[in-house]
Amino acid sequence: MKKVPFTLALSAGLLIAGTTTVFAADAVKAVLFPIQVFIQQKAQTLPAESPILNYNNQTYVPLRFFSEQLGQQVDYKQGAANEQSSVSLSAPHSDPAGEAWHLTYLMQPGNHRDAPLSLMLNMTELNPEENKPLEDRMYQFHASIYNVGKEDVVLLNGFNIDLEIVKVDEGGGGIGEVVWEGAIGHVPSKNGPVHIQGLPIPGANNDMFWGVQSPAWSWDGKDRNGVPLQPGSYYLRQKEGAHLQYGIINGSGETVTHNFNRSMANGIAGFYIRTLP
């Protein structure tokens, strides 16, 4: 058995590092094992049933795993006898007009502990059906960042906020283990006007907070190992240390780092995975 060090980078944001183990087989010449996969600079764990193959000097990445990690939905349709099967990739939860962060507002906002910026998260199940199995359910989440201060600000281009999902201990013990990790981010448009340096947010008044809302990201309801989460209560929340940078419009031009405080009123969203009928 021969082992060869192997590293591969793809322009889509995929990095594979591992070794090839060669087998004498008619269909599959090698399986990469052990292996670590990095998608958009984050380590991913492949399900056991989805190995990466090295066959005839070509590396094959599981289409469903790779696509879903990039927020795409994979639709496989088995063709009838003597007909081709088809695979389609789509992002059904964002139309072209909704793929960018956009201005939003919050009426009669109440108390927010962070100033001048406050992060709110939301998680919902898509097209809930009573008899839908756990492995077929899809969810979407988005974030809103509000300016709760009086001055107009601009969020500087290119930020990333790490998120996690934790299980709620039904026995009254509080928050359980972290079961999923991800992120929300803003990437400047390459085709946008050069004078736009970030996301501007007007200052708050007594009746309204202005903010920016993210596009919707999709999540398949599975944990870090690709296993569907069991029914129960969960929290989507920002990780400790989440921060971004902003500037005051018509201010001194100074760049300010804002550290988000995590609380039940800021940066945490509860949701429930329905029980099976």
Residue-wise pLDDT tens digits, 230-270: 999 999 999 887 888 898 888 788 898 988 877 656 778 88
Burial annotation 229-244 (CB, 10 A radius, 16+ → b, else e)? beeeebbbbbbeebeb
Task: Dump pLDDT digits (tens) for 158-214.
Answer: 788 889 999 987 766 567 789 999 888 887 666 554 445 678 889 888 778 889 988
Q: What does the pLDDT read at residue 107? A: 77
State the average pLDDT for the chain. 73
Side-chain half-sphere exposure of 13, counting CA atoms within 13 A: 11
Is residue 154 a contact partner of residue 249, using CB atoms and an 8 Å limit?
Answer: yes
Q: What does the DSSP 8-state code read for residue 77?
A: E
This model's pTM is above 0.85: no
Q: In the chain, where are the structural domains located?
A: 3-74, 96-273
Residue 140, phi then psi, degrees to nearest 5: -140, 150
For residue 116, whether the previous peptide bond is cis, meaning omega lies within 30 degrees of 0, is: yes
Is residue 107 a contact partner of residue 208, using CB atoms and an 8 Å limit?
Answer: yes
pLDDT band at 37 (very low <50, low <70, confident <90, very high): low
Residue 52 clears pLDDT 50, i.e. is over it: yes
Q: Tell me which residue has tokens 């281009």.
A: 157
Residues 121, 237: Cα–Cα separation, whole Å: 7
| 25, amino acid identity | A
What are the structure tokens assigned to 136, written together? 């077929």
- Residues recorded for the chain: 277
User: In whole angstroms, what separates CA 22 from the centre of its chain?
Assistant: 35
